């Protein structure tokens, strides 16, 4: 049996750090959105035992260090099913270490694929419970869509969909390590915070501009200190008439929201001329498991 599924990237419309827990993790409050940029995961059962993985991104591991294989191990451990041989092909399009949950969404896709392949009929809640040990963003990636994520990212509340719009992503030519950013943030010293309640109200009203102008990420100043380019890309999006702009996750990808197709196309051309990883996208709805 062979299945192919898309694994969509996520962006943060907002990211707030609420406090730091005893175990070192931070409690967060984030408005998350999946976008129409995806990796493609193909999984096929094989007669020979073991997992064999190929990936077009040569620098990524293809052993247990890849979150796709970690997810397969987790699935067999959780379900008690004896692992069969799997041939796994991952076509990466989502930039790595970009703040777009690339690895997390691939892991979530693997859990969804195996749930179908083995007809285990786990509910979305069960898949999310299975997903959490793989990473804090993996439970969200099981269904994606527009969601509020709290706790370390595992307490999820579905929200009204982001209104139809154009989403511009631009990643400068360096990656950012998520743990390194969190180790440099002191939640007690955060002065500016996103108006999360205002974003939720704007989503309920279907008011795109209200969402866009409230987008804010408390982590943004951290990588921007070393890489002022992040702020420059944000300003260039606003100069091109983005309704709002923000860094996603721990960065460095910058997001811009547009309600005007021409303005979005212009901004895309301007940034794509300088940055290879520039994408003009649309919001994706929640997907059923
Ligand atoms: P987040 O937004 O959740 O912090 P990210 O987009 O910043 O995620 P990833 O692209 O998930 O970061 O990559 C982080 C690290 O995870 C990479 O350095 C990579 O070695 C490792 N990794 C393991 N599996 C994968 C995968 N399938 N795709 C991408 N990275 C992976």
Q: In tens digits, what is the pLDDT along the chain, a chain of 289 residues?
A: 999 999 999 999 999 999 999 999 999 999 999 999 999 999 999 999 999 999 999 899 999 999 999 999 999 999 999 999 999 999 999 999 999 999 999 999 999 999 999 999 999 999 999 999 999 999 999 999 999 999 999 999 999 999 999 999 999 999 999 999 999 999 989 999 999 999 999 999 999 999 999 999 999 999 999 999 999 999 999 999 999 999 999 999 999 999 999 999 999 999 999 999 999 999 999 999 9
Is the distance from CB of 169 to CB of 279 less than 8 angstroms? yes
This prediction has a pTM of 0.96
What is the sign, positive or negative, of the torsion defined by CA atoms of 183, 73, 288, 125? negative
Q: Whose CA is nearest to atom 18 of ligand 1?
A: 97
Is the link from the previous residue into 237 a cis peptide, with omega within 30 of 0?
no
Catalytic residue ranges: 10, 137
> Residue 196 Cα, ligand 1 centroid: separation in angstroms?
26
Is the distance from CB of 187 to CB of 197 less than 8 angstroms? no
| C-alpha to C-alpha distance for 264 and 221, rounded to whole angstroms | 25
Q: Whose CA is nearest to atom 20 of ligand 1?
A: 60
Is the distance from CB of 238 to CB of 139 less than 8 angstroms? no
Residue whose CB lies within 8 A of the most ligand 1 atoms, among 98, 102, 135, for a mutation test: 102
| C-alpha to C-alpha distance for 178 and 218, rounded to whole angstroms | 13
| C-alpha to C-alpha distance for 136 and 32, rounded to whole angstroms | 13
The pLDDT score that the predictor gives to residue 145 is: 98
The pLDDT score that the predictor gives to residue 156 is: 98
The pLDDT score that the predictor gives to residue 204 is: 98
Is the distance from CB of 161 to CB of 145 less than 8 angstroms? yes
- 101 Cβ below 6 A of ligand 1: yes
- 180 Cβ below 6 A of ligand 1: no
| C-alpha to C-alpha distance for 268 and 266, rounded to whole angstroms | 5
Q: Whose CA is nearest to atom 24 of ligand 1?
A: 66
């Amino acid at each position: 049996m062979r299945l192919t599924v898309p694994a969509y990237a996520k962006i943060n419309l907002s990211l707030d750090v609420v406090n730091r827990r005893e175990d070192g993790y931070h409690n967060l409050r984030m408005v998350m959105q999946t976008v129409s940029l995806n990796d493609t995961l193909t999984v096929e059962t094989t007669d020979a035992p073991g997992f064999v993985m190929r990936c077009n991104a040569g620098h990524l591991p293809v052993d247990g260090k890849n979150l796709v294989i970690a997810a397969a191990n987790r699935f067999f451990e959780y379900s008690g099913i004896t692992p069969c041989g799997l041939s796994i092909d991952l076509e990466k399009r989502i930039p790595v270490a970009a703040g777009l949950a690339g690895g997390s969404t691939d892991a979530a896709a693997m859990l969804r694929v195996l749930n179908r392949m083995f007809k285990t009929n786990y509910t979305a809640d069960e898949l999310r419970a299975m997903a959490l040990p793989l990473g804090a963003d993996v439970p969200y990636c099981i269904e994606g869509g527009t969601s509020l994520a709290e706790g370390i990212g595992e307490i999820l509340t579905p929200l009204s969909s982001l209104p139809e719009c154009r989403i511009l992503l631009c990643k400068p030519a360096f990656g950012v390590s998520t743990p390194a950013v969190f180790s440099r943030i002191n939640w007690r010293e955060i002065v500016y915070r996103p108006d999360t309640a205002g974003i939720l109200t704007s989503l309920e009203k279907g008011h795109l501009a209200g969402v866009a102008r409230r987008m804010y990420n408390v982590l943004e100043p951290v990588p921007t200190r070393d890489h002022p380019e992040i702020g420059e890309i944000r300003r260039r999006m606003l100069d091109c008439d983005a309704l709002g702009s923000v860094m996603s996750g721990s960065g460095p990808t910058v997001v811009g929201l547009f309600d005007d197709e021409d303005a979005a196309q212009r901004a895309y051309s301007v940034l794509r001329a300088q940055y290879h990883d520039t994408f003009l996208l649309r919001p994706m709805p929640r997907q059923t498991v």
